Structure formats: structure tokens, C-alpha cells
Structure 1
Amino acid sequence: MRNIVLTRIDERLIHGQVMTSWLKVSSANVVLIIDDASASNTFLKRVLLAAAPKELKVYVMTHTDAAVYLKEASEPGEKIFIITKVPKPLLQIIKEGVILHEIILGNMGGAEGRKMFSRNISASPEEIQDMREIINCGVSIYCQMIPADLKENIKGLL
């Protein structure tokens, strides 16, 4: 299994807060974006790759490809930061045998079908069900916008 140092749900994917705060805290040198739509769109992939510092490896994969990649042997010194827009891809890779210990829930903005349940976090009934299933698989999910914020376990919020 590859060395996963941080897993985060944040619909903004690669943005300033990720680059400045979470990468520094995690010491990650690889960012794995798991998003089926972005993985199949050449333009979106190029935008995401261009948004990252040149010294950082960035991969954009479908959940199926990510599960295969993450179950491979880790390379020396590799530290992977996984990021998704929504919980579904994480539930899918867990069901495919990828071991995650905790997930940091960041920004999921308001949209049709979503209700706000915490600061900067809204979710649809399906997304809430996905998070419940992830928790039932033994993975903790915490709300935490930036590393300096206290972790808030979402189990009670769901």
C-alpha cells in the first residue's frame, strides 16, 4: 500500500489553502486528485496540473484507477495527499480495499439538494449517507478548514 499522509474532501481541489497549509503540515510530495469527471476531461486535468508547484507530482485519476494505484507498493520517500470534491470516491476506494484512517472534511459549498450542516459544509442526503458508510468502515471524518482549526468529528453532526 502506498504511503497516504492526508486525505481531504474539498470541492475546490487544488487552491491556495491546500498549497500553503495542508501540504506544509503533511509534508506531501504527491497529490492524488480522485475525480472521475476531471480525470476524463483533458482541459480540467491540465488546469489542475498547472495549479500545483512544479516540484509536486500531481495525478488526476478515476476512483477505479486510484484504487489500483494506492494498493501498489509505496516508493521510497513518497507521501501522498488524496483530495476529492465529495465523499463518494473515498467510499468507493475503501470498498475496493484501500485503507484510510481519517478524512479531513473541508469546503463543500451550498448547491441544489444540499443542506448546510457545519460552517462552509453543505451536503446532500446521498453525500451524508456516503459519509455514514465511510464511518461505518472504521474511518474517522473531521471538519477542519485549516490545520490551525480544531478537528470536529462529524459523527454527531450526521
Structure 2
Amino acid sequence: MANIALLRVDDRLVHGQVVTKWIGEAGAKEIVIVDDYLATNTYLSSVFKMAAPHGVEVVTYSSETFVEKINSDSFGEVPLLVLFKSIEILGKVYSLGFKNKNVQIGGIGANSDRKIVFQSIALSESEAQKLKEIQQKGVKVIFQRVPDEKPSDLSMILKKKFKNLI
């Protein structure tokens, strides 16, 4: 079974907060980016590899390849920081049979379809619905940007911002 130290959705992927705070907090030794587009873009994947601190490997997989590697226990015991760029891909890996009991939503920027739901984290109604479906599988979904910030549970976000989904 893979040693997932932290599973996080963050549309910026490998950036300052992840590098300076979450890698150390989670004790991660490897960053796994799960994104169907980035898995086919070697240039962008190399940019994220360069952004990681010395000694931390960065690998990028499509959603299907990630689930195959998890199911075949290819990661061993190395503590992993698993990053998703979008809730869409997160939902896809869960629909492919991925099982992990914790998801952290750490950074999703606002746009015309999204509203701010926690600090600077924004969700669309369809993203909130997808997270609710993941939560209904027994997954704890929290919102937290940085380690020293008190997290907020998805249930509270839904009650405050998406009452129609309760």
C-alpha cells in the first residue's frame, strides 16, 4: 500500500506554500502530480520538477496510470505528497477505484463559475457536488491553505455556501 502522507488539490501544484510548508509538514520525500494534461506535456512537467526542493523527486502521471500504480503497489513506502490540479481529476481517480481516506483542498482560484468558499479557495457548484460524492465514499474532505491555519470540513462549506446540495 502506498504511503500517502498528504493528498492535496491545488491548482498551482508545486509552488511556495507546497515547497516551504507542506512537504516538511507531511514528511514527503516524493511529489506525485496527477493530471491528464500534464502527463502528456514534458516541458511543463520539467518546470514542476525544477520547482521542487533538492532531494524531492517529482513525477507526473495521468489519472489512469496513477490508479494502476497505486493498485499494483508500485510506490513502496516512500512518503508521498500527491497533488491534483483539479477536482475533476480527483473525482476521476476515485471513480477508477482509488481509495484514500483524506483529501485536502488547498488552492483553487476563483473564476466566473466559482465562488469563494474558504479564505481564498473557490468552488463551482459542480465541484462542490463532486466533493460531496467523494465524501459519501467515507473520505474526509477538508479545506486548508497552510499548516498553521485551522481547517474547515466540507460539510461546513456545503452548509454555508451550497445549501442546495445538503
Settle same-fold status: TM greater than 0.5: yes
Q: Which residue of 2 aligns with 1:89?
A: 89
Q: Which residue of 1 aligns with 2:59?
A: 59
Q: Which amino acid aligns with 1:58?
A: V
Residues 69 and 75 in structure 2, CA contact (< 8 A), matched pair in contact too: no
Residues 3 and 74 in structure 1, CA contact (< 8 A), matched pair in contact too: no
Q: Which residue of 2 aligns with 1:115?
A: 115
Task: Classify 1:113/1:70 alpha carbon distance in 2 versus 1 (closer, same or farther; 3 Å).
Answer: same
Q: Which residue of 2 aligns with 1:149?
A: 149
Question: Once structures 1 and 2 are overlaid, which stretch shifts more, 92-101 or 105-114?
Answer: 92-101
SS of 1:80's equivalent in the other structure is: strand
Residues 106 and 120 in structure 1, CA contact (< 8 A), matched pair in contact too: no
TM-score normalised to structure 2 length:
0.88
Q: Which residue of 2 aligns with 1:3?
A: 3
Equivalent-residue separation in structure 1 for 2:27 and 2:87 (angstroms): 23
Task: Classify 1:75/1:17 alpha carbon distance in 2 versus 1 (closer, same or farther; 3 Å).
Answer: same
Task: Classify 1:75/1:39 alpha carbon distance in 2 versus 1 (closer, same or farther; 3 Å).
Answer: closer
Q: Which amino acid aligns with 1:6?
A: L
Equivalent-residue separation in structure 1 for 2:58 and 2:47 (angstroms): 11
Shift of 1:77: 4.1
Residues 63 and 93 in structure 1, CA contact (< 8 A), matched pair in contact too: yes
Q: Which residue of 2 aligns with 1:73?
A: 73
Q: Which residue of 1 aligns with 2:127?
A: 127
Task: Classify 1:76/1:70 alpha carbon distance in 2 versus 1 (closer, same or farther; 3 Å).
Answer: closer
Shift of 1:69: 1.2
What is the total number of aligned residue pairs between the two structures?
Answer: 158
Shift of 1:36: 1.1
Task: Classify 1:76/1:32 alpha carbon distance in 2 versus 1 (closer, same or farther; 3 Å).
Answer: closer
Shift of 1:96: 2.0
Shift of 1:156: 2.2
Residues 106 and 145 in structure 2, CA contact (< 8 A), matched pair in contact too: yes
Equivalent-residue separation in structure 1 for 2:77 and 2:68 (angstroms): 20
Equivalent-residue separation in structure 2 for 1:66 and 1:73 (angstroms): 11
Shift of 1:92: 1.8
Deviation per residue, 1:23-78 (Å, 9 max, x gap): 10111111111111111112211111111123111111111111111222265541
CA RMSD of aligned residues (A): 1.5
Structure 2: gaps (5+ residues): 159-166
